[in-house]
């Protein structure tokens, strides 16, 4: 069978030649099944997805109609690309997409910043048993933070990206309002992607496409659901054969359920963000660290390129927190300990690991 | 150990019987696979692809792919012990890469009807070529919902196309296996497309997530509804229900609760 042909089987694939070229390109690393990962710009999200966004995949983010949490994901994704000197295409229904570039966060480089949470943990001294898992995770992430600081940076959301990151690179900004029909927009995406062709021998610098709020009412095409589907389908297939990742956010609440499902099926990786109400007493009682949370992030689908095995995550819902008001972190939800006075035995609250709680709190 | 739980398969070519094959029996003529966002049913397609291309037979497969490029299937099937490149060279697999069919900004002068007509002509020709030494032919359409998008969401035209394909199954005795996403059509006015597809299918296979949530060792459950044409375990309109775990080289099927 497989041995009859001179074609190299997947078992003996030699990566040495390819990895040499890759090691020169920052922001890429090998994943399973001959795929490559590109950092999402959020360390925890990379970790959750098993390494980052798969090169050649389409990432869809379902927006919350009430809060702009998807912007956090888009900003980090774009910033990371600029830090790695990767070409970027940004499209938005806003009046001035280029102005948005000024809000991109700046990377944190200094070493002492990186070890800050570890110091914080050590100061606390006492570790409480029901949270031990959280601590293990953080130690691991700490380790990765040092090891792969090149692959994914830490971003300070309060500091704007410095000027020199914008210079000398190609940034396309597109107003979705102007693109009356999606064909011209698609052509621009295609010509952008044609600069980063997929070629096994010679891997070029990967490109990033960020499309914010596709199908928002400002766009002329927002009522042409089929056109949008055609666009996303074409973009997905072009992306697949090029060296790039596209992140598209869309407001599912504005669309018909069937259209929204179609978009979800088109996504390789599907993520949704949700705001949490400010004063939800019940949630506050249920979760630790509720005050620090800004929202919840759910991972619905992880890209399955070149494989049929689904990635089963330990937890699908994560809390988005702003650590020290500047860097975005994702954490498993941690159930708060039950009040001793309430008299509920530990048996009922015994399941306090990350995965089991998400079941109760599946948003 | 449950009789159906399979250990590691050492010989690639040996087809180990499993619950899905048992449920299908001789195999339906027209099979519809339905899945949803949470649980992809693509692995059932891979299963059929491997079964039809097994080295013991000379069956041919005509694969219309709207969702994935050839390399994707090639990698998956190779791990399952089936080399698609060799099969393609042997003319046992005719792979149509239709990812770019009617992409935006291309072939604008062509109407959707023309596209579907020329596509059907291609399929018809392929079936004729394959059937010159009489053998079983399987037509696989990976993702009817994407075919719909490719023809500007004119689902009636897709239905016509599928009707022509159904007629091929009668004319040449070939099988037709299609994948579609059920949750797209689950709104109140259920589309006639999925209803008619379900009506025409001899076997409907539904892939759903576990109602109890995600688990690392159980990836979902399959419901096989056989309308009673094949000789399977669940013929005469029975419904088979079992769970599965997807691995790289095989898929484990088992009855709920039979795994320790």
Which chain B residues contact residue A261 at CB under 8 A?
Answer: 37, 181, 183-184, 186
What are the structural domain ranges in chain B?
37-203
Query: Across the interface, do B146 and A233 touch by the CB < 8 Å criterion?
Result: yes
Note the pLDDT of residue A236. Answer: 94
Which domain CATH number covers A236? Answer: 3.40.50.300
Residue of A nearest to B149 (CA): A230
pLDDT at B227: 81
Evaluate if residue A280 carries a pLDDT over 90: no
Q: To probe the interface with B, which of A192, A237, A241, A360 has the most B CB atoms within 10 Å?
A: A237
pLDDT digits (tens, 9 = 90+) for A299-331: 999 999 999 998 888 888 999 988 877 888 898
Residue found by looking up tokens 């379902």 in the block: A62
Q: Which of B42, B55, B78 faces A9 most closely, judged by CB atoms?
A: B78
The answer to whether B93 touches B60, Cβ cutoff 8 Å, is yes
Three-state DSSP class for residue A341: helix
Chain B contact for A5 (CB, 8 A cutoff) = yes
- SS3 for A231-299, per residue? HHHHHHHHHHCECEEEEEEECHHHCCHHHHHHHHHHCCEEEEEEECCCCCHHHHHHECCHHHEEEEEEE
Q: What's the full length of chain A, in residues?
A: 363
> Where do runs of H (alpha helix) occur along chain B?
19-24, 42-52, 70-79, 84-89, 112-130, 144-150, 155-172, 192-200
- Let me know if residue A54 belongs to a domain: yes
Q: What is the CATH number of domain B37-203?
A: 3.40.50.300
Of all residues in chain A, the percent with pLDDT exceeding 70 is 72
B154 is written with which tokens?
Answer: 């004119």
For residue B48, with 0-12 CB atoms within 10 Å meaning exposed, 13-18 middle and 19 or more buried, which class applies?
Answer: buried
Tokens linked to B152 = 């500007």
pLDDT per position as a tens digit, B190-244? 778 999 999 999 889 999 998 887 778 889 999 998 886 655 555 556 788 889 9
pLDDT tens track for A158-173:
888 888 888 767 888 8
User: How confident is the model at residue B107, as a pLDDT?
Assistant: 57
Tell me which of B77, B104, B249 to substitute to probe the interface with A (most A C-beta atoms closer than 10 Å).
B104
CA distances, A140 to each of A50, A133, A151, A318 (Å)? 14, 11, 16, 17
Q: Each residue of B70-87: pLDDT tens digit?
A: 999 999 999 999 999 999
Which of A225, A227, A308 is opposite residue B42, by nearest beta carbon?
A: A308
**Tokens standing for residue A199:** 């070629």
Q: How far apart are the first and last CA of chain A?
A: 48
Query: Would A119 be classed as within a structural domain?
Result: no
Q: Which residues of A touch B86 (CB under 8 A)?
A: 1-2, 4-5
A192 contact residues in B (CB cutoff 8 A): none
Torsional class of A314: left (φ above 0), alpha (ψ -120 to 50), beta (otherwise): alpha
pLDDT value of position A115? 47
What's chain A's Rg over C-alpha atoms? 21
pLDDT at A1 over 80: no
How many domains are contained in chain A?
A: 1
Q: How far apart are CA A336 and CA A347, in angstroms?
A: 14
Choose among A229, A261, A313: nearest Cβ to B153: A229
Report residue B6's pLDDT band, with 50, 70 and 90 as the boundaries: very low
**CA–CA distance from A196 to each of A140, A242, A267 (Å)?**
34, 6, 21
A57-106: pLDDT as tens digits = 999 999 998 889 999 999 999 999 988 888 999 999 988 888 888 889 98
Q: Which of A66-80, A269-283, B96-110 has the lowest average pLDDT?
A: B96-110
**Min CA distance, B171 vs chain A (Å)?**
32
If you ran DSSP here, which 8-state letter would residue A332 be given? E
Interface of A with B in 257-286 (CB under 8 A): 257-258, 261-262, 264-265, 270
Distances (CA, A) of B115 to A63, A226, A246, B63, B112: 35, 17, 28, 17, 5
Task: Annotate B199-212 with b (16+ C-beta within 10 A) or e (fewer).
Answer: ebbbbbbbbbbeee
Query: In this predicted model, what pLDDT tens digit does every residue of A213-248 receive, in sequence order?
Result: 998 888 878 778 888 999 999 999 999 988 899 999
Contact status, residue B143 vs residue B153, Cβ threshold 8 Å: no
In this predicted complex, what is the ipTM? Answer: 0.88
Please give the average per-residue pLDDT across B177-188, as a whole number.
Answer: 88
Buried b (16+ CB within 10 A) or exposed e, A25-61: bebbbebebbbbbbbbbbbbbbbbbebbbbbbbbbbb
User: Domain residues for A137?
Assistant: 37-108+132-360
Q: How far apart are the first and last CA of chain B?
A: 9
């Amino acid at each position: 069978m497989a041995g009859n042909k001179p074609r190299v089987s997947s078992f003996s694939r030699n990566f040495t030649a390819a990895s040499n070229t890759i090691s020169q390109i920052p922001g890429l690393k090998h994943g399973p099944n001959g795929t490559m990962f590109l950092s999402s710009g959020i360390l925890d999200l990379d970790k959750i997805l098993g390494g980052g966004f798969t090169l050649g995949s389409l990432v869809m983010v379902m927006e919350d109609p009430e809060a702009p949490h998807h912007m956090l994901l888009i900003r980090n994704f774009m910033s990371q690309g600029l830090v790695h000197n990767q070409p970027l295409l940004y499209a938005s229904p806003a009046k001035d997409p280029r102005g948005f570039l000024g809000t991109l966060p700046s990377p944190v480089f200094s070493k002492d910043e990186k070890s800050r949470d570890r110091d914080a943990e050590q100061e606390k001294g006492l570790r409480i048993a029901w949270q031990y898992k959280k601590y293990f995770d953080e130690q691991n992430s700490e380790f990765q933070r040092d090891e792969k600081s090149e692959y994914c940076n830490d971003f300070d959301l309060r500091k704007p990206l410095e000027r020199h990151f914008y210079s000398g690179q190609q940034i396309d900004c597109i107003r979705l309002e102007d693109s009356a029909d999606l064909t011209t927009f698609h052509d621009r995406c295609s010509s952008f992607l044609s600069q980063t062709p997929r070629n096994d021998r010679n891997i070029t610098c990967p490109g990033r496409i960020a499309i914010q709020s596709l199908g928002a009412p400002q766009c002329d095409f927002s009522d042409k659901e089929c056109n949008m589907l055609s666009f996303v389908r074409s973009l997905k297939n072009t992306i697949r054969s090029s060296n790039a990742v596209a992140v598209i956010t869309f407001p599912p609440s504005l669309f018909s359920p069937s259209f929204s499902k179609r978009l979800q099926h088109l996504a390789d990786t599907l993520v949704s963000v949700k705001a949490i109400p400010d004063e939800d007493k019940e949630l506050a009682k249920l979760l630790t660290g509720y005050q620090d949370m800004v929202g919840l992030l759910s991972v619905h689908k992880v890209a399955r390129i070149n494989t049929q095995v689904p990635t089963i995550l330990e937890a699908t819902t994560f809390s988005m927190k702003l650590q020290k008001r500047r860097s975005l972190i994702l954490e498993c939800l941690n159930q708060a300990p039950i009040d001793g006075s309430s008299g509920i035995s530990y048996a009922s609250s015994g399941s306090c690991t990350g995965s089991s709680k998400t079941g109760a709190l599946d948003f | 150990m449950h009789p159906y739980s399979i250990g590691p398969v050492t010989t690639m070519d040996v087809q180990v019987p499993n619950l899905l094959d048992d449920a299908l029996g001789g195999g339906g003529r027209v099979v519809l696979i339905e899945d949803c966002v949470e649980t992809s049913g693509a692995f059932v397609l891979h299963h059929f692809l491997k079964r039809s291309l097994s080295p013991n037979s000379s069956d041919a497969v005509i694969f219309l792919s709207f969702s994935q490029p050839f390399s994707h299937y090639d990698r998956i099937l190779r791990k399952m012990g089936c080399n698609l490149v060799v099969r393609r060279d042997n003319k046992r697999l005719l792979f149509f890469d239709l990812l770019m069919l009617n992409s935006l900004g291309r072939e604008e002068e062509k109407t959707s009807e023309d596209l579907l007509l020329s596509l059907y002509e291609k399929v018809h020709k392929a079936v004729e070529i394959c059937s010159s030494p009489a053998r079983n032919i399987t037509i696989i359409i990976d993702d009817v919902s994407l075919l719909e998008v490719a023809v500007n969401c004119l689902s009636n035209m897709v239905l016509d196309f599928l009707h022509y394909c159904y007629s091929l199954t009668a004319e040449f005795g070939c099988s037709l296996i299609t994948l579609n996403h059920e949750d797209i059509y689950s709104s109140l006015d259920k589309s006639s497309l999925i209803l008619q597809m379900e009506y025409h299918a001899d076997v409907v296979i539904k892939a759903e997530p576990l109602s109890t949530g995600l688990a690392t060792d159980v990836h979902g459950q399959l419901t096989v509804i056989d309308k009673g044409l094949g000789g399977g375990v669940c013929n005469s309109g029975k419904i088979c229900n079992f769970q599965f775990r997807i691995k790289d080289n095989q898929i484990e099927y088992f009855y709920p609760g039979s795994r320790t």
